[in-house]
């Protein structure tokens, strides 16, 4: 499962800034086709752009484990960060030099297997023109323990209100 910005929200934002509805749609599609701004990585009928949260679950019955989910979200997380970086690069180029250090984009993921739930943040750090991707565990809970689940749901609620 992937959560991102609704396609219509991007169109409306461009429309509110003076672009006609057809030009807003054409801009997003042309940017995607020309590999300038890849906002829809899976090009599905979901109409989700700039994904920021991914949910990856693995089941015991399928013979997989939590490491499979973690590996898949590590790759997907770095891809989400790259997509968002392409969006923030033009902005970062115009920020005056004396401004505070620019913060790169963040993406999030939830990995599950059985009753185990893990919540991660994905980000990148650039040092000497080399980009290093990071995946940091924010929380791990066992669904059998209500207090842990409550804390997890509060963290997810904070994420969505952010």
Instruction: Provide the residue-wise pLDDT of the chain in tens; the chain has 162 residues.
Output: 677 777 777 777 777 777 777 777 777 677 667 666 666 655 556 666 777 888 888 877 677 788 888 888 898 888 888 888 877 766 566 556 666 656 678 999 999 888 899 999 999 988 888 889 999 999 999 999 999 999 999 988 888 887
DSSP-derived letter for residue 104 is: P
pLDDT at 122: 94
CA angle in degrees (0–180, nearest 5) for 156-58-78: 60
pLDDT at 33: 72
pLDDT at 41: 59
What is the chain's Cα-based Rg? 18
What is the pTM (predicted TM-score) of this model?
Answer: 0.74
Centre a 10 Å sphere on the Cβ of residue 3 and count the other Cβ atoms it contains.
Answer: 15
* Strand-pair partners of 127: 130
pLDDT at 85: 82
Query: For residue 50, what are its two tokens?
Result: 């700039």
DSSP-derived 3-state class of residue 69: helix
């Amino acid at each position: 499962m992937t959560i991102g910005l609704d396609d219509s929200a991007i169109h409306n934002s461009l429309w509110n800034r003076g672009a006609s509805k057809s030009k807003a749609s054409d801009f997003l599609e042309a940017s995607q086709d020309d590999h300038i701004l890849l906002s829809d990585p899976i090009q599905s009928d979901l109409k989700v752009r700039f994904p920021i949260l991914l949910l990856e679950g693995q089941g015991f019955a399928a013979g997989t484990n939590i490491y499979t989910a973690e590996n898949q979200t590590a790759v997907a997380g770095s891809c989400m960060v790259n997509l968002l970086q392409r969006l923030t690069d033009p902005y970062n180029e115009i920020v005056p030099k004396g401004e505070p250090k620019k913060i790169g984009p963040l993406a999030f993921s939830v990995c599950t297997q059985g009753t185990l739930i893990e919540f991660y943040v994905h980000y990148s750090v650039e040092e000497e023109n080399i980009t290093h991707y990071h995946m940091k565990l924010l929380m791990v809970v066992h669904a059998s323990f209500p207090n842990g689940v409550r804390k997890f749901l509060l963290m997810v609620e904070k994420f969505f209100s952010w």
